Chain A
Amino acid sequence: MANLVEIRDLKVEATTDSGRRVEIIKGISLDIADGEIVALIGESGSGKTTIALTLMGYARPGCRISGGSVSVAGKNMVALGEKERARVRGTEIAYVPQSAAAAFNPAATIMDQVIEITRIHQLMSPDGARAKAVDLFRALSLPQPETIGTRYPHQVSGGQLQRLAAAMALIGDPKLVIFDEPTTALDVTTQIEVLRAFKSVMKAGGISGVYVSHDLAVVAQIADRIVVLKGGEMQETGTTDEILNDAKHPYTRELLDAFEPKPRGTAGPTEPAPAPLLKIDTLVAGYGPRQADGLPLVRAVKQVSLTVEKGRNLGIIGESGCGKSTLARAIAGILPAVDGSIHFEGRELGRSARERSREQLREMQIVFQYADTALNPAKSIEDILDRPLAFYHGMGSSARIARIDELLDMVRLPRNLRHRRPSELSGGQKQRVNFARALAAEPKLILCDEITSALDTVVAAAIIDLLKELQRELGLSYVFISHDLSTVQAICDEVVVMYAGEKVEQLASSELASGAKHPYSKLLFASVPKLDTGWLDGLDQRPELARAFSKAG
Chain B
Amino acid sequence: MTMTTTSTSTTSVRKSGNRLGYRFNVVGILGLTVILSWALVAVFAPLIIPYPVGEIVDLDYFGPMSHDFWLGSDYLGRDMLSRILMGARYTVGISLAAVTIACFSGVVLGMIAAVAGGWLDTILSRFLDALNSIPSKLFGLVVVAAVGSSIPVLILTLSVIYIPGAYRFARALAVNINAMDFITVARIRGESTWYLIRSEILPNIVGPVLADLGIRFVFIVLLLSGLSFLGLGVQPPYADWGALVRENIGGLPFGAPAVMFPSLAIASLTISVNLLIDNLPQKIRDRA
Contact A361 B181 (CB under 8 A): no
Q: Which one of A333, A368, A441 contacts B181 once the chains associate, using CB atoms below 8 Å? A: A368
Contact A361 B203 (CB under 8 A): no
Contact A379 B203 (CB under 8 A): yes
Interface string of B184-221 (1 = CB under 8 A from A): 11111111000000011001100000000000000000
> How far apart sit A101 and B182, CA to CA, in the bound complex (Å)?
28
A79 at the B interface (CB under 8 A): no
B180 at the A interface (CB under 8 A): yes
> How far apart sit A333 and B185, CA to CA, in the bound complex (Å)?
11
B137 at the A interface (CB under 8 A): no
A376-B203, A380-B16 given; A391·B185 CB < 8 A: no
In the complex, chain A residues 372-414 whose Cβ is within 8 Å of any chain B Cβ: 373-380, 387-388, 391-392
Q: Which one of B17, B182, B188 contacts A353 once the chains associate, using CB atoms below 8 Å? A: B188
B286 shortest CB reach to chain A, Å: 10
Contact B190 A391 (CB under 8 A): yes
- For A522, the chain B residues whose CB sits under 8 A away are none
A sample of 9 inter-chain contacts (CB < 8 A) reads A353-B188, A356-B190, A358-B190, A361-B188, A379-B199, A380-B16, A391-B189, A392-B189, A420-B16
Name the residue among A353, A378, A388, A424 with the largest chain B CB count within 10 angstroms: A378
- For B16, the chain A residues whose CB sits under 8 A away are 380, 419-421
Given A353-B187, A421-B16, 7 more A-B residue pairs with CB atoms under 8 Å apart are A334-B187, A375-B182, A377-B204, A379-B203, A420-B15, A420-B17, A441-B189
A370 at the B interface (CB under 8 A): yes
A332 at the B interface (CB under 8 A): yes
Name the residue among B180, B185, B189, B190 with the largest chain A CB count within 10 angstroms: B185
Q: Which one of B17, B189, B287 contacts A361 once the chains associate, using CB atoms below 8 Å? A: B189
> How far apart sit A276 and B187, CA to CA, in the bound complex (Å)?
26
Contact A378 B204 (CB under 8 A): yes
- For B17, the chain A residues whose CB sits under 8 A away are 420-421, 424
Contact B15 A419 (CB under 8 A): yes
Contact A332 B188 (CB under 8 A): yes
Contact A334 B180 (CB under 8 A): no
Contact A374 B189 (CB under 8 A): no
B173 shortest CB reach to chain A, Å: 13
> How far apart sit A511 and B184, CA to CA, in the bound complex (Å)?
36
- For A356, the chain B residues whose CB sits under 8 A away are 190
A374-B182, A375-B182, A380-B16 given; A388·B203 CB < 8 A: no
A366 at the B interface (CB under 8 A): yes
Q: Which residues of B contact A (CB under 8 A)?
A: 15-17, 180-182, 184-191, 199-200, 203-204, 287
Contact A373 B182 (CB under 8 A): yes
B151 shortest CB reach to chain A, Å: 37
- For A419, the chain B residues whose CB sits under 8 A away are 15-16
- For B189, the chain A residues whose CB sits under 8 A away are 361, 387-388, 391-392, 441
A48 at the B interface (CB under 8 A): no
Contact A376 B15 (CB under 8 A): no
> How far apart sit A441 and B17, CA to CA, in the bound complex (Å)?
29
A437 at the B interface (CB under 8 A): yes
> How far apart sit A388 and B191, CA to CA, in the bound complex (Å)?
10
Q: Which one of A353, A378, A380, A437 contacts B287 once the chains associate, using CB atoms below 8 Å? A: A378
Contact A376 B200 (CB under 8 A): yes
- For A375, the chain B residues whose CB sits under 8 A away are 182
- For B182, the chain A residues whose CB sits under 8 A away are 373-376
CB-nearest residue of chain A relative to B177? A376
> How far apart sit A243 and B188, CA to CA, in the bound complex (Å)?
46
> How far apart sit A374 and B287, CA to CA, in the bound complex (Å)?
17
Contact A353 B190 (CB under 8 A): yes
Contact A376 B204 (CB under 8 A): yes
> How far apart sit A332 and B190, CA to CA, in the bound complex (Å)?
12
- For A388, the chain B residues whose CB sits under 8 A away are 189
Q: Which residues of A contact B (CB under 8 A)?
A: 332-334, 353, 356, 358, 361, 366, 368, 370, 373-380, 387-388, 391-392, 419-421, 424, 437, 441
A93 shortest CB reach to chain B, Å: 38
CB-nearest residue of chain A relative to B183? A376
Contact A361 B204 (CB under 8 A): no
Contact A437 B188 (CB under 8 A): no
> How far apart sit A375 and B181, CA to CA, in the bound complex (Å)?
8
Closest 10 interchain pairs by CB?
A: A378-B203, A374-B181, A373-B181, A353-B188, A368-B181, A376-B182, A373-B180, A361-B190, A378-B204, A358-B190
B210 shortest CB reach to chain A, Å: 14
- For B187, the chain A residues whose CB sits under 8 A away are 334, 353
Contact A334 B190 (CB under 8 A): no
> How far apart sit A207 and B184, CA to CA, in the bound complex (Å)?
49
Q: Which one of B15, B181, B199, B287 contacts A370 once the chains associate, using CB atoms below 8 Å? A: B181
Contact A366 B185 (CB under 8 A): yes
A326 shortest CB reach to chain B, Å: 14
> How far apart sit A486 and B17, CA to CA, in the bound complex (Å)?
38
B43 shortest CB reach to chain A, Å: 33
> How far apart sit A420 and B204, CA to CA, in the bound complex (Å)?
16
- For B186, the chain A residues whose CB sits under 8 A away are 387
- For A387, the chain B residues whose CB sits under 8 A away are 186, 189, 199
A419-B15, A421-B17 given; A374·B191 CB < 8 A: no
> How far apart sit A387 and B185, CA to CA, in the bound complex (Å)?
11
- For A370, the chain B residues whose CB sits under 8 A away are 181
A479 shortest CB reach to chain B, Å: 15
- For B190, the chain A residues whose CB sits under 8 A away are 353, 356, 358, 361, 391
> How far apart sit A463 and B250, CA to CA, in the bound complex (Å)?
78
> How far apart sit A380 and B187, CA to CA, in the bound complex (Å)?
19
- For A366, the chain B residues whose CB sits under 8 A away are 185, 188
> How far apart sit A374 and B182, CA to CA, in the bound complex (Å)?
4
> How far apart sit A375 and B186, CA to CA, in the bound complex (Å)?
10
> How far apart sit A373 and B204, CA to CA, in the bound complex (Å)?
12
CB-nearest residue of chain B relative to A384? B182
> How far apart sit A377 and B180, CA to CA, in the bound complex (Å)?
11
CB-nearest residue of chain A relative to B18? A18
Q: Which one of B188, B200, B204 contacts A333 once the chains associate, using CB atoms below 8 Å? A: B188
- For A437, the chain B residues whose CB sits under 8 A away are 185
- For A358, the chain B residues whose CB sits under 8 A away are 190
- For B188, the chain A residues whose CB sits under 8 A away are 332-334, 353, 361, 366
A345 shortest CB reach to chain B, Å: 18
> How far apart sit A387 and B203, CA to CA, in the bound complex (Å)?
15
CB-nearest residue of chain B relative to A374? B181
B32 shortest CB reach to chain A, Å: 24
> How far apart sit A379 and B199, CA to CA, in the bound complex (Å)?
9
A325 shortest CB reach to chain B, Å: 12
B133 shortest CB reach to chain A, Å: 30
CB-nearest residue of chain A relative to B184? A334
B97 shortest CB reach to chain A, Å: 28
A166 shortest CB reach to chain B, Å: 34
CB-nearest residue of chain B relative to A377? B204
- For A368, the chain B residues whose CB sits under 8 A away are 181, 184-185
CB-nearest residue of chain A relative to B188? A353
